[in-house]
């Protein structure tokens, strides 16, 4: 009976552990042993214990990092918004289009009329595109249904993507994404429906790992979000928030006051909001794809987040309106160019801090003994290249906990 299922030798290892400087690099040739889908041993090859592996493979000096994690996506949706993309290039703003019934609502219309199979078939290639560049965990939000049936359908599709693809999916209920037309001028009644019917049903069926909302003048007010967060907290579900994307509504501080997993976007977050986040354990999830697509000029308060030690994650925000980007490597590249994150911050933001933002850092996000064997092997000379190149086939191989588990 072998001690390990798989032993990877002749590698260079960037553990991305928080307490190890410089990408958590292990000096010299390294080895990783996997057993039952978990990292059973890792370290310098010269210190490898004398144990037996069922399979042993040399990786010829390739770099290993934690597999990437996309912690904020809306990649289950019907239709697309390419026509609005053209409208915006002709001068219409995102808010103008939303107020005229387009924007999120046009995707809601297309999603409501799509079957579960149609939503699944459209989303699967997006998930596979992420996997092809080293991603092993993806968060997917609902929020294009805004009624009980469609919100549940979206979450079921997301769960099915987890079962039928090689990606581990974390799901988030975002029923409070925008006010549906049935509740026009009565957002409070819609919030009541979400709190009293949609949320309890989703919790009862175990369809969501977290609850999100869009706190913005074109969506929900802080007091409406507060009501939703109270209901989620009572059901034991963690919360996160689309906060301060287009204006400062105190979203970051509100999220922090509910001990949110994360506050996301944050372009207009004030220094008081950063302080509130620093006093909580919330992660700042930066979404440079949306910043770019909306031609935003107001930068998130990066220096203050850094100075106060708020953990920073980077995600695609993959969605048909504000971030038609299905590439986490592209989001990392944009975070370095637009937000001046260092390449190490970009990689940490798409591994360790993304895991923290999903509440799963205990079992993934860094390469450590006992964590899932979610590992990316790269044809690169240094991990800084991962925020530098886009579109190059640098992923040599992706190991996931599921595929290294022997039946
Ligand atoms: O993260 N900000 C709100 N939600 C999405 C946009 C969704 C959409 O426009 O369809 C975002 O940017
Ligand atoms: Fe989003």
Return the bridge partners of 330, or none. Answer: none
Identify whether residues 157 and 204 lie together within a single domain: yes
- 152 and 140 within one domain: yes
* pLDDT tens figures, 227-275: 999 999 999 999 999 999 999 999 999 999 999 999 999 999 999 999 9
Mean pLDDT of 12-25: 95
Q: Cα dihedral angle (381, 383, 385, 390), rounded to 10 degrees?
A: 120
The H helix count followed by the E strand count for the chain is 15, 15
Over residues 196-211, the pLDDT tens digits come to 999 999 999 999 999 9
Do residues 241 and 294 both lie within one domain? Answer: yes
Is residue 214 lining ligand 1, measured as CB closer than 6 Å?
Answer: yes
**Statement to judge: residues 168 and 268 lie in one domain:** yes
More confident residue, 404 or 350: 350
* Whether pLDDT at 403 is above 80: no
CATH at residue 55: 2.30.40.10
Give the model confidence (pLDDT) of 127-177 as tens digits: 999 999 999 999 999 999 999 999 999 999 999 999 999 999 999 999 999
Q: How far apart are CA 301 and CA 298, in angstroms?
A: 9
pLDDT digits (tens, 9 = 90+) for 76-129: 999 999 999 999 999 999 888 988 889 999 999 999 999 999 999 999 999 999
**pLDDT over 90 at 354, yes or no:** yes
Question: Ligand 2 mean position to 194 CA, how many Å?
Answer: 18
User: How far, in Å, is the centroid of ligand 2 from the Cα of 10?
Assistant: 40
CATH code of residue 340 = 3.20.20.140
73 Cβ inside 6 Å of ligand 1: no
371-381 pLDDT, tens digit per residue, is 999 999 999 99
Same domain? For 74 and 191 the reply is yes
Q: Which residues contact 380 (CB under 8 A, 6 or more apart)?
A: 63, 386, 394
Over residues 310-323, the mean pLDDT reads 98
What ligand 1 atom has the least distance to the C-alpha of 77? 10
Q: How many domains is the chain built from?
A: 2
What's the predicted TM-score (pTM) here?
0.97
Q: Is the same domain home to 343 and 208?
A: yes
Task: For residue 399, give Cα distances in angstroms to 34, 179, 238, 331, 347.
Answer: 10, 41, 29, 22, 18
Rounded Cα distance, 327 and 288, in Å: 12
pLDDT tens for 262-315 read 999 999 999 999 999 999 999 999 999 999 999 999 999 999 999 999 999 999
The reply to whether ligand 1 has any atom less than 6 angstroms from the CB of 317 is yes
Report residues near ion ligand 2: CB below 5 Å: 317
Same-domain status, 213 and 296: yes
Question: Which ligand 1 atom is at minimum distance from the Cα of 144?
Answer: 10
Q: Is the pLDDT of residue 43 over 90?
A: yes
State the pLDDT at residue 407.
Answer: 41
pLDDT of residue 396: 96
Beta-carbon-side half-sphere exposure of residue 64 (alpha carbons within 13 Å)? 33
Are residues 175 and 57 both part of a single domain? no
If asked whether residues 36 and 77 sit together in one domain, one would say: no
Q: How far, in Å, from the CA of 32 to the mean position of ligand 1?
A: 39
Distance 73 CA to ligand 2 centre (A): 6
Asked if residue 262 and residue 305 are part of one domain, the reply reads: yes
For residue 382, give its domain range: 4-66+365-405
Q: Predicted confidence band at 406 (pLDDT cuts at 50, 70, 90)? A: low
168 and 34 inside one domain? no
Ligand 2: centre distance to CA 246 (Å): 12
Please indicate, yes or no, whether residues 209 and 341 belong to a single structural domain of this protein: yes
């Amino acid at each position: 009976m072998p001690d390990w299922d798989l032993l990877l030798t002749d590698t260079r290892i960037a553990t991305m552990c928080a307490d190890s400087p410089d990408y958590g690099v292990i000096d010299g040739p390294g080895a990783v042993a996997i057993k039952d889908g978990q990292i059973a041993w890792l370290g310098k090859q010269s210190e490898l214990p004398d144990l037996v592996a069922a399979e042993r493979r040399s990786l010829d000096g390739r770099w290993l990092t934690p597999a990437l994690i996309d912690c904020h996506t809306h990649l289950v949706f019907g239709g697309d918004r390419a026509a609005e993309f053209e409208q915006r290039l002709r001068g219409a703003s995102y808010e103008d289009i939303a107020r005229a019934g387009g924007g999120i609502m046009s995707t809601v219309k297309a999603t409501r009329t799509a079957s579960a199979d149609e939503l699944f078939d459209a989303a699967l290639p997006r998930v596979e595109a992420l996997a092809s560049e080293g991603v092993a965990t993806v968060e997917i939000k609902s929020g294009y249904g805004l009624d009980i049936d469609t919100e549940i359908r979206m979450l079921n599709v997301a769960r099915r993507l987890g079962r039928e693809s090689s990606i581990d999916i974390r799901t988030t209920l975002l029923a409070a994404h925008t006010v549906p037309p049935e509740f026009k001028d009565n957002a409070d009644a819609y919030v009541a429906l979400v709190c009293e019917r949609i949320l309890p049903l989703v919790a009862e069926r175990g369809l969501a790992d977290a609850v999100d909302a869009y706190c913005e003048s074109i969506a929900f007010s802080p007091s409406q979000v507060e009501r939703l967060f109270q209901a989620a907290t009572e059901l034991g579900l963690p919360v996160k928030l689309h906060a301060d994307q287009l204006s400062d509504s105190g979203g970051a501080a509100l999220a922090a006051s509910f001990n949110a997993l994360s506050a996301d976007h944050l372009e207009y977050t004030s220094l008081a909001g950063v302080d509130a986040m620093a006093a909580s354990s919330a992660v700042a999830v930066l979404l440079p794809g949306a910043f770019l697509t909306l031609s935003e000029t107001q930068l998130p308060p990066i220096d203050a987040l850094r100075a106060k030690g708020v953990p920073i994650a980077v995600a695609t925000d993959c969605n048909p309106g504000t971030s038609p980007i299905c590439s986490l490597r592209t989001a990392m590249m944009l975070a370095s160019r637009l937000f001046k994150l260092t390449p190490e911050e970009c990689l940490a933001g798409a591994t360790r801090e993304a895991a923290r933002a999903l509440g799963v850092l205990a079992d993934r996000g860094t390469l450590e003994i006992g964590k899932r064997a979610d590992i990316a092997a790269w044809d690169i000379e240094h991990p800084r290249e991962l925020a530098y190149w886009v579109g190059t086939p640098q992923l040599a191989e992706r190991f996931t906990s599921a595929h290294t588990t022997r039946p």
